[in-house]
Every structure is written in structure tokens, then in C-alpha cells.
Structure 1
Amino acid sequence: MADTYNTLTLTLDGGDVTIKLRPDLAPEHVKRIAELANEGFYDGVVFHRVIPGFMAQGGDPTGTGMHGSDKPNLKQEFSKEPHVRGVCSMARTNDPNSANSQFFICFDDARFLDGQYTVWGEVTNGMELIDALPKGEPPREPGKIVKARAE
């Protein structure tokens, strides 16, 4: 496995979403996302929480939003990077050190999250596919990640 990853590709039903990984901001979170992606963990996983004007959240293998991977939770790597359209950040519980496998992609500015959630990437291509995900908590027929791979 490579030590550094620059890109995460999420293949959705409509095409590919390209995410620039930001190990400069969150090296351990990028490593985790890349590791899970290349192990096939995210393949077939749905976006279980999609709130218009806010964000799309996925990464729970059960699709309920209550679970993560079997790997230990990560310590926060908060930064000053703003939560704006296309930013990818880790979901967590009220414990700032509880990020595991769930993540979200911002539809719009969500600056109230700045400094409280770990930013690990940004969508550089395919944001229209994220915009088109079925909405809801959970969506009636949720969009899913067909395949995820990091390079």
C-alpha cells in the first residue's frame, strides 16, 4: 500500500466523483479513507443522510448512520479549512475523537462546522452527481457508492 494518496474516486450509478485528498490537513484521516476504499469497504455503501443545501453523508456499511468500520476511531485533526461546497469531512458523534468511516460532502457553505470536524478532501470533478443524490434522512431509495478507490 502506498504511503501517500492524492485522489479518491467514488464511482456512483451516474459516473465518477473525483476527490482531491488533503493529507496536509488530516494525514491520519486520509490514510483511513484510502485504506477503507482500497479494501472495498465503501463498495455498495449508501448515502444514508442527504440534506438539501447542507450535505450528503455516507460511510456506514449498515446504511443506518449508527455504525462504522472495525478499525479504531481516529483522533480529531481539525484545521482552519472552511466547510464550503465540495469539501469532504469526517462525520462523528459528540466526541471529537470518534470519526471512523462515515464522511460527508458539503452541498453549500457550512462554516458553522469549521474547526469542529476534520476536513480531508475536496471534490474536484463530479459534484453534479453528489447534487443529484436522492434526498432524505434516510432517502427512500438512497444513492450508493458502487466502488471507491484511492490512488
Structure 2
Amino acid sequence: MTWTMGFVLILGILIKMITSPPSAAVAWLLKKFAIHQEINEKEITLVYDSQLIEGQVKEKVVTMYNEASFLKRIHIYPGNEDLFMPHNQKTVPYHICYSKGKKKIQLYLYIEEKYLTVVKQTKRKLIAYQMSAKEQYIECEENSIYSNSKIDHM
């Protein structure tokens, strides 16, 4: 009788956890599988036109990236991955490198007036998406960190 009650109690707790998980678990899962993850300024290297960028410009680019709103994912069809890489563009993107655990992640930022186009490359995947960055663009426009980093074919 006690084994039956214990089993029913544990089964009830398990069903409750599966049907409505705690908010911390949900937040962890959403953060783990998010396309647009926030980056930390101290953990990245930012390169523009083969020059390492440090200081205030690096801080502004990271802030703009973190505060931008996700708009849409750009579908990359098999065989067209190479079209999104920087060596096929006429413009120079901001190149961000960082590591999450064992994964090395590379971001290519193409900054336009209203949009921020991001090409995210890991070892096996290439993901492209657009974000809204109009407010950040207006704030930092006079600093000329946006010159010549627009994507050409989108």
C-alpha cells in the first residue's frame, strides 16, 4: 500500500513537472536554443577590415548587437551557403569570434540604416537573420562605425 502511494505521488510530481515546468527551466531551454544570443564584450574579438577593434567602438557594436530586435530568419538553401560568406561580398563586415563551451562561433555583421544582417557560422551550420537596429544606428551614426559594412545582395 505504501509503495503504491509513493509511486502515485512520484508519478504525480513527474507529470506536474512535465506539463508545467518551472520558469527557470523554461528560461534555460529558451536561452540554450535561441538564434540570437547576447554576447559579452570581454569574451569576443572584433575585427573590421583585418584590424582588431577595441575600446569604445567595440562597446558600441556589441551594445547595438545585443539590443537589436530579431526580425526574420533568412533561409539559406543547400548549395548557396557560400554566397553569404564575406569573401563573396563587395563590402567588409564586422567579424566577431567567440566560444560557447566547445563551440567556436563566428558572426559576420552587415550594418545597414534600418537593419543589422547577421551571418552566424559554427562548425556545421550557417544561419543568417535580420534584426532591427534603427535606434542604435541613429544614436551612433556620427561615430562612423557603420561605414562600408552593408551587405550587397539582400
- TM-score strictly above 0.5: no
What is the TM-score when the length of structure 2 is the normalising length? 0.29
Instruction: Report which of the two has the higher share of helix.
Output: 2
Q: Which structure has the bigger radius of gyration? A: 2
TM-score, structure 1 normalization:
0.30
